[in-house]
């Protein structure tokens, strides 16, 4: 069984047992989280599509860890203007383990 959920402004297709890195969620490691914005659930030929959400559907997850992605290097330059700017960014994430999909 799979589901399409929304968290952190993005949509993810998840299945039971999958580990997923999402935008940082303020929760302790080991805490259980319920994602209730479910757009679609499916199992084989049986698919439910919400308008916009599937009523009564939820995804239960456990927080595995928190961390930061690798650094992204940003370089801006204006030619012939003697302008160069270097910048770096590391995005925070929360790693979730999908425990159950309730449809």
Q: What is the pLDDT of residue 44?
A: 87
Angstrom CA distances, 82 to 42, 73, 86, stand at: 55, 20, 13
Percent of residues in the chain assigned helix, strand, coil, to nearest 5: 0, 65, 35
For 10, the token pair is 């993005």
Residue 103 is predicted with a pLDDT of: 84
Q: Is 28 exposed, middle or buried (0-12, 13-18, 19+ CB in 10 A)?
A: exposed
Confidence of residue 72 (pLDDT cuts 50, 70, 90): very high
* pLDDT over 90 at 26, yes or no: yes
Residue 86 pLDDT > 90: yes
- State pTM to two decimals: 0.85
DSSP single-letter state for residue 44: T
């Amino acid at each position: 069984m799979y589901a399409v959920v929304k968290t952190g402004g993005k949509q993810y297709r998840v299945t039971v047992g999958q580990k997923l890195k999402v935008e940082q969620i303020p929760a302790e490691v080991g805490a259980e989280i319920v994602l209730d914005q479910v757009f679609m659930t499916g199992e084989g030929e049986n698919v439910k599509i919400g308008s916009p959400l599937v009523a009564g559907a939820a995804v239960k997850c456990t927080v595995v860890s928190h961390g930061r992605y690798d650094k992204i290097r940003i370089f801006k330059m204006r030619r012939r203007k003697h302008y160069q700017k270097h910048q770096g960014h590391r995005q925070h994430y929360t790693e979730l383990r999908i425990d159950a999909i309730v449809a």
